[in-house]
Structure 1
Amino acid sequence: MKAQSFKLFIAIGVGIGSLCMALAVSPGRATEVAAVSETMAHQLAPKSEHRYASRWATRIINAYRYGEKADEDLSERMFDQYLDLLDGNRLYFTATDIADLERYRPHLHESLKSADLEPAFDIFNRYVKRVNERTSHALELLDRGFDFTIDEEYRFDRTELPWAASEEELEEVWRQRVKNDWLLLKLTDQEDEEIAETLRERYTNLDRRISEFNSEDVFQFFMNAYTRSIEPHSAYLSPRSVDNFEISMRLSLDGIGAMLQRETEYTTVMEVVPGGPADLDGRLQAGDRIVAVAQGDEDFVDVIGWRLDDVVSLIRGERETVVRLEVLPAETGLSGPSQVIDIVRDEVKLEEQAASSEIIEVPEGDEVRRIGVINLPVFYVDFQGRARNEPNYRSSTRDTRHLINELREQDIDGLVIDLRGNGGGALIEATTLTGLFIDEGPVVQVRDFRGRINLERDREPGMAWDGPLAVLVDRRSASASEIFAAAIQDYGRGVVIGETTFGKGTVQNLIDLDQYSNSDDTRLGQIKLTMAQFYRVNGGSTQRMGVIPDILLPTAGDPEETGESALENALPWGEIEATEFDQVAHLESLVELARQRHEQRLESDEELQDLLAEIRDFEAEIDRHSVTLLESARRAEMEEEEERRSERYASVEESATDGGEDVLSDAAGNEDSEDEASRDLYLIETARILSDLIALDGDQHRMAHRGDESLSAGELP
């Protein structure tokens, strides 16, 4: 999987370190339709401030970036990255174009350092011209009509294909693309006239939006091709991007709570933010492609091919207003059918992102084992309250400690910390949260760009919870989540369950280039630069490798094709000297026995068998690169998928009615928790695994009341 071109947050209140390759957020709502421009009004060219910014940016990045500074092939990587940013799906340039532009390949880095930006602008101006030609061709195709009784395939994913050898070959690609666009709308039972009008507006908007790019946009594209060629989390933000990002942060608590990215011509949901309106609604999922947006009861606006920031401006809006999204669900891919999701924009409340708890009861023979669960969506802290030493300032550690005390009073036998989807947050919180489960000691090592190592430690004696512990993670668990999970694993303090984590082991800092400006009226933008790396207490890095669980749960996809390891030019895994720490226990033998019980359930449990079947279907879909343009076959695929989904939902409904058969949830203050727990098979299975570990250890009473006694090898902490 290629690294995605653009990422942008919608109203989620996170640090700028999470923003990568972001286009400026348009403050207005662009819904008007303009005629296709036949030629650009003028050729874009660099400005003097762009040349000045390029000199300073290259010096700063070269001086302060983390990692090796061998740049022998940097120009070649920049060339490829720039083309990927502009035409990643290879729909506009031909092989002839690329052959002509190859003259720039060996020299882009030197050109940038010397502030020669003409190559970047020459490539971009040609790109705009090609977009105009392709969209004009697409509009002509709408008047010809299509025969959907012909059995042919459309290759929608062209990222790994060669550039089209000729204009004729590329026109054939576009014929199939337009035919597929038409078929997708036809499958929703739209009339031909309505379809033609929708697509005419789509291709007109595509051309107009590309033509609206200005020289600042081009410079930002090219600078991000440079930063991304070095390391995927570094980025350049133009002055306009900085302003709009600050605006979005001030307004960041209003919206739907979703993280989007541009993927070929589609806007794709990268992540649904915990605690946001989309998360609470439950229907919008990561991987869904947004094809149209509507305000309340107004008509849908087709957004395929739109700039990411313009899609964001349509989705964002005032609190308590309704936005409707037409999406192609992740599980159906581009074959459809689409689904309409209406979401009420609202505040992403701290209380909804804060730690929460529940209890899952797992039958064990004639007994019931009570497993406490603490869900932590993000590592948060009120920095101002902490600095003022306020007695009741909020933090993930403080809230978790409070929940642990409440769960203790309810006589839990074990505890699960659920970090699925937790992309990180405050580093100090990863350290202090770990301190709730260890009795003092180092938590993480941080090495900066100079090679200096700083050790973050838990300095508070004692533990908030000294009983059986499991940490549940997935591929979206990143950064601070990985620090916590790695420390628990290295200390032998608990078991890590789930899927391999994201693998982001780097630290970014923001550098304001305006401080180097030679004029108060000239702004240069900002650089987000990777300047340090995390290392576990055992010396290994979480970079690329992530945290590998002690027990893996079945999930879709190859870990090597998602997360950090899938990002181009990601820094390599590394290792430094381990620091001194006191390992609590060695759990390998117990974990192996628990793994065997888990594998037996995978073979016998009906719900888990359904989950495995769903995973197989999803993997088949994500490995698919083309779709049929035969209408009868496409409709049959839709009906088959709808039937599978109906059967699965029926199975879930039946399971929820039965109370999950052998696993019950008792979440305080949540009347629907039993139904939710019965649907969350990963959490249920994690509770079962922890229950197995407690049973296998065979001395539950002593474990629950051992106080501060140290564990001997083989005991479950």
Structure 2
Amino acid sequence: MSDGSELLEFRMRGYKRVNVVVRDARVQTIDITLPDGVSPESVAKIFKLGEPREGELPAAANIGTTVSADWKAQRYSAGRVVLFIDESGSKPVAQLMRVYALDVIPLRSDEASLVKRSLQGQNAESRQITKAVLNLLATRHFQPQKLNQEIAQRWLQNYIKTLDPLKLFFFQSDIEEFQKQSEQIVTDAAEGNIDFAYNVFYRYLERRTQNLKIIREYLAAEHDFSLDEEILTLKEVPYPENELEAREIWRKRVKLELLNRKAKGYDPVESLERVKRHYEYQFQLPEQFDDLQLLEWSLSALAKSYNANSTYYSARSIGRYQDNLRRQIVGIGAQLQIVDGDIEIVSLPEGGAAAQSGALKTGDRIVAVAEGEGEFDSVSGLRLTEVVEKIRGKQGTVVRLKVISSQKNQPTVVALTRDEVSFAGIRGTILNERYANQKQKTRIGFVSVPAFYSDSQNPSARSSSKDLKKLLKEYEADGVDALVLDLRNNSGGMLAESFRFTSLFIGQRPLVQTKDQSGKVQTLNGVKVD
């Protein structure tokens, strides 16, 4: 620039563009182009610039600030903020800009209201499911019992723990208010109503929004790390009595997170960035959140009130779980996620139709889907699960995608034939280790077992026991001396398949005992594996 200033351009998550003008190593201005739907006023508040002196922010208006004489005027316009900074205030403001713009600006405080608007309330099917689950628990559970006020209290407590396991959101007054509803919960549940679950969730959203504001404050505040303070562990911590106590809890938690990063050697700015990413993740709601998700949370909390090992899965969750156990689905073989509101391709597993076509790349955005030669349906505003359901279908059928490449602005149409897509199953590695007093290395077969998977509808399909049996034969031929089974990330699976898997090691010896409602104990042995 002619005056010796340097223009630095950044592309930062949360903003369309951030331009910083620097002269003599000092920040002169920060010019921020905001994403759609974010007001300049909200960013001004996040940057602690103070409230405008009068009325709402008009387009292209010069607004003074009431924060400090060190700050010059800020220029606000539609979809844009320009901060004019004098030399005395440039360094702290530059740090603040980096901290808030780099990752999380703005934390989406409007997410709660969007989620609330997406909930339609219970319908007839939801009430029918609730009554059916209550009947099963009263007649078929290992410890059958009709719903009463004692169980209703546990139901409520489990549901609250689902929403707020760390006691960070609800106030003690909220809990006391909810606990008075046990009799009404029993009455409503008899008709299949779970109104309490909606009311508790709405209160949770309200507290989330309050806490987001508090966290922003303490992330921007100075903290004195020389003070001797303590923070209670989860078992000891009570719910905060009110907002004043909640503020103190969040002050300490933010300070502790910053201190942990400082202890790891991060500088103050990097520490703030990492803590902000931590809270961004913590405050995320499930992307697919809807009435079905709320029903599942509620009924799972109900099942756990009968026994800690009991749970409820919706048909949607069971379908996903069964897909996982079959280790294959019918689709195009593309992993998707929502990035800034767009459906983006994040990976293309080998062997899938998408990877084989060569027409799709990671980073491409899907904007519309069509079945065969039918009309395109926009995916704008759809949940990720809804988009996935549109793309999946019967094997051999064609799905067309309207895609915008990361290198192009105009959409192109890609036609793909749906086919089976296999997930990774058991994986084996041979490690050569030499231990003390050993002349030769020990060959260790390391086996990762993601699940006890199989396809109950197709006996000839792959399974964990078949894959393991094949791998064990290979290890035997390779002279493996020892075996390590890694079950750390095992999600469980089919009970019968776990029998076959274990039987590869213990044969047909006793494997497990079961006991039914009447107290009858049955011993089940291992099985012969073909």
TM-score, length basis structure 1: 0.38
Higher Cα radius of gyration: 2
| Structure possessing the higher relative contact order (Cα contacts under 8 Å, 6 or more residues apart) | 1
